[in-house]
Amino acid sequence: MKPSLSKTFIYVNLIYYPINVLGPGERAGLWTQGCTIRCPGCVASYTWEFSGEYKMKVKEAADKILSFGSGRLTVSGGEPFDQPAAFNELLILLKKGGIEDIMVYSGYTYDILRKNHSLALDKIDALVDSPFMEGAYSNEKWRGSNNQNMIILSEKKQLREKYISYMADAAAGAGRALQVASCGGKIYVIGIPDQRDVSGIKSGLGSI
Ligand code: SF4
């Protein structure tokens, strides 16, 4: 169930740096906690509940991300747009703090986000949209199912070129990479696995 939400607090599963497998270059990563979309076969079902233990001040989350000194960030989840006011506030602080490349995964389509969350969308440089679809296999490293789209929103020429080249590499079959990270006593597998490999990865490791 969705709790009462404000722009002051955000539900966060994990903030981690560095990540090398979700977007171009070395980046900070933020995984929000809470998702009402609940796609069948989601590899991150542990992020669905808006549990109090994951609640933190937006300012605190921004400070932690900015403390890494990276100009790049990838946001996944959970569903970041299920807490739109806090997410928008976080994006404001991150952009003010110098993050210049923000890539976001959302289970909503671009059209829905454009209609309901334009303010936040305008602060994002690249969006991977649409819900995960079990059985819709993709070989491209940035998407979990082949209905998802990467939409480059940035107007910065160099950054657009970076994303275009990243997508071209993926289309040409550049390998899918996953990263294993240990944080707060848990092991995370970061990245977008091939659907057909998920059960093997889960039984061998832990959270994805
Ligand atoms: S939107 Fe993302 S986190 Fe939510 S159920 Fe779908 S894949 Fe999982």
Nearest one of 91, 85, 127 to 106, comparing CA atoms: 127
Pocket test for ligand 1, best of 37, 50, 108, 134 (most atoms within 8 A of CB): 37
Peptide bond into 40 cis (omega under 30): no
Low-confidence residues of the chain: pLDDT under 50: none
Residue 162 within any structural domain of the chain = yes
pLDDT at 1: 65
Model confidence, pTM: 0.94
Pocket test for ligand 1, best of 22, 79, 82 (most atoms within 8 A of CB): 79
* Number of domains into which the chain is organized: 1
Residue 198 within any structural domain of the chain = no
CA distance 156 to 172: 24
Residue 208 within any structural domain of the chain = no
Mapped onto helix, strand or coil, the DSSP state of residue 97 is coil
CA distance 184 to 193: 23
Ligand 1 centroid to Cα of residue 157, in Å, is 30
Nearest one of 33, 29, 30 to 11, comparing CA atoms: 33
pLDDT at 205: 61
pLDDT at 184: 86
Residue 113 within any structural domain of the chain = yes
User: Could you please report the per-residue DSSP string of 173-194?
Assistant: TPPP--EEEEETTEEEEES---
Residue 194 within any structural domain of the chain = no
Domain boundaries, position 31: 9-176
Ligand 1 centroid to Cα of residue 158, in Å, is 30
